[in-house]
Amino acid sequence: MFLKRKQDGHLVEVLSLADLINPLHPTIVGRLHYGEEPGDPETFTKNDLAFPSDEPLPKCWTDIHYRDEELFKRLKINP
């Protein structure tokens, strides 16, 4: 899977999809792809990445508390 680094638009090949979809992991391991050869594996922060279409990553991949508000409503708890 490829994502885009926001700062310069370079493509990053994601080497671990498990890290990408886990909201407890703020970083992923990937390789930059520009030029003729892929780069060496390095760590990228999820907040610095987006889909190639410029869509942000889903909240469920980046925020462990993305459904807290819904849970509080169902349980009728004030946070």
Angle at the Cα of 47 from the Cα atoms of 70 and 35, rounded to 5 degrees:
145
Q: Give the C-alpha separation, 27 to 78, whole Å.
A: 31
Tens of pLDDT, residue by residue over 53-64, are 999 999 999 999
Check: CB of residue 60 under 8 Å from CB of residue 66. Answer: yes
Q: How confident is the model at residue 69 (pLDDT cuts 50, 70, 90)?
A: confident
pLDDT greater than 90 at residue 73? no
Tens of pLDDT, residue by residue over 2-61, are 999 999 999 999 999 999 999 999 999 999 988 788 889 999 999 999 999 999 999 999
pTM of the model as a whole: 0.81
